[in-house]
Amino acid sequence: MTRKKKRILAVASGGGHFIELLRLSPAWSSCETHYLTSLPGHADSIASEARLHIVRDASRWNKAGVILMAIRIFWLLLRLHPRVIISTGAAPGYFALRFGKLFGGKTIWVDSMAAEDSFSLAGSLAKRYADLHLTPWPDLAVAGSRRYEGSVLG
C-alpha cells in the first residue's frame, strides 16, 4: 500500500534566504514539495520533482505591493492546503505561515543567519504563527520558545 505523501510549502524570498532554505531541504525529501519564492531563476536549483511558485516580493514601504503579495499568498495557501509550511524569511514567509496556520497547517520558522532580533520585522511577526521556531545561532536560543538544534552551515 502506498501512503500519500505529505505536502509541504517551503518559502523564502529570492537570494540569500532561499539559499538558506535549500540547505534544510533534506528534511522534507519524502514530502510532496512546493517552493514559493520571488526569483524565478531559482527553478534550476530545486529538486526536479518539486514545484516552484513565484510571488513578487515587496518591501515593507510599498503598501500596495505588500497587500498584493499577501492576497497571492492567501490564494496559494487556500489552493495547496499544505500540511506543513516552513520559511527562512522574509515577508512572503510571514504571510505563508500566517495563512497556512489559518488553514490548519503546521508551521516552522527558521531565523535567517543574518536575522538578529532587532532587525527582522518579518521574523518578529512570524514567530507568533510558528509552531516550531528555530535559530541557527546557539546564543540566540530562548528557553521554551526558540530552539537551537544545529547549524545551517553544516
Partner 1 sequence: MIFVTVGTQLAFDRMLRVIDEWAGSTTPTPEVFAQIGPSEFVPKHIEHKAFIEPTEFAERARAADAIVAHAGMGSILTALTYGKPIVIMPRRADLGEQRNDHQLSTAERFKGRPGVFVAQDETELPAILDSLKDLQAAEPIPPFASPGLIKAIRDFIDEA
> Which triple of cell numbers denotes residue 99?
495563512
Compute the least distance from the CB of residue 153 to partner 1, in Å.
Answer: 5
Sketch the per residue contact string, 108 through 147, with partner 1: x for CB under 8 A, - otherwise.
x-x-xxxxx-xxx----------xx-x-xx---------x
Among positions 46-65, residues that touch partner 1 (CB under 8 A) are 59-60
C-alpha cell at 73: 499568498
C-alpha cell at 74: 492567501
H-assigned helices in the chain: 16-22, 63-80, 91-102, 121-126
What binding mask, one character per residue, do residues 62-101 give for partner 1 by CB under 8 A, x or -? ---------------------xx-x---------------
CA distances for 34 relative to 5, 140, 146, angstroms: 12, 29, 25
Count the site residues for partner 1 by CB under 8 A: 50
